[in-house]
Structure 1
Amino acid sequence: MIEGSFVASAAATTVALALVLALAWGSLWLLRRVQAPARGNPGLRFVRALPVGSRERVVVLHYEGEEWVLGVTAGSISLLSRKPLPCARGSAGADPS
């Protein structure tokens, strides 16, 4: 009788775990789809972060056709630079300089 109870308990636990994993996967998939920028709008894109101290960093973002350089500290975020993104070059991608 103890064996049957153990098997039933293990089966119920396995089914519950599978259900939780399926819900987690579905939630992450949905969140990813909702947060993805629209195809016509590039949205906000993280490019790079460079640490400049123990809790300070310089962050580069692309947002709506512009490149934003931000200084990020524990207490504030400051805009250091904002400029239009360079136009896409030809397929060769050679640097003219």
Structure 2
Amino acid sequence: MDNFSRELLSTFVALAFVVALAWASIALLKRMQQGRGSRPGTRDDSELRFVRALPVGTKERVVVVQYRGEEWLLGVTTGGITLLARTPSPAGSPLRTEG
């Protein structure tokens, strides 16, 4: 019975090590992702922001995104993405986050 307890303990220690390693890896990846974009709480006009999507078929949709002060209307299908229109974003208007 002593051998079983020792094996069980070593299994739990190994599991705890793997969980701690996974947690540390995820925390590091999150920190690296935050460092790539703008800092939290600041607005960066060069960011890509999702505005709205409208499905027009089973796998097709029309998507509006904002990028560097412009609104882009994109057609998205399984075969690719097509730029349909590009207009300046309305000045001073807050970002819409619908849909």
**Same fold? TM cut 0.5:** yes
Unaligned runs of 5+ in 1: 90-97
Q: Which residue of 2 aligns with 1:82?
A: 86
Q: Does 1:33 align with 2:32?
A: no
Range with bigger deviation, 65-74 or 1-10 = 1-10
Separation (CA, whole Å) in 1 of partners of 2:59 and 2:8? 52
- Tell me how far 1:40 sits from its aligned partner: 7.0
Q: TM-score, normalised by structure 1?
A: 0.75
Bigger relative CO (Cα 8 Å, ≥ 6 apart): 2
Corresponding residue to 1:42 among 42, 45, 52:
45
SS at match of 1:55: coil
Query: How many residues get paired?
Result: 88
Kindly report the root-mean-square deviation, in angstroms, between the aligned alpha carbons of the 2 structures: 2.0
Q: What corresponds to 1:63 in structure 2?
A: 67
Which residue does 2:9 correspond to in 1? 7
Note closer, same or farther for the CA distance 1:77–1:8 as it changes in structure 2 (3 Å cut).
closer
Unaligned stretches of 5+ in structure 2? 94-99
CA distance in 1, matches of 2:30, 2:5: 37
Cα deviation for residue 28 of structure 1 reads 2.4
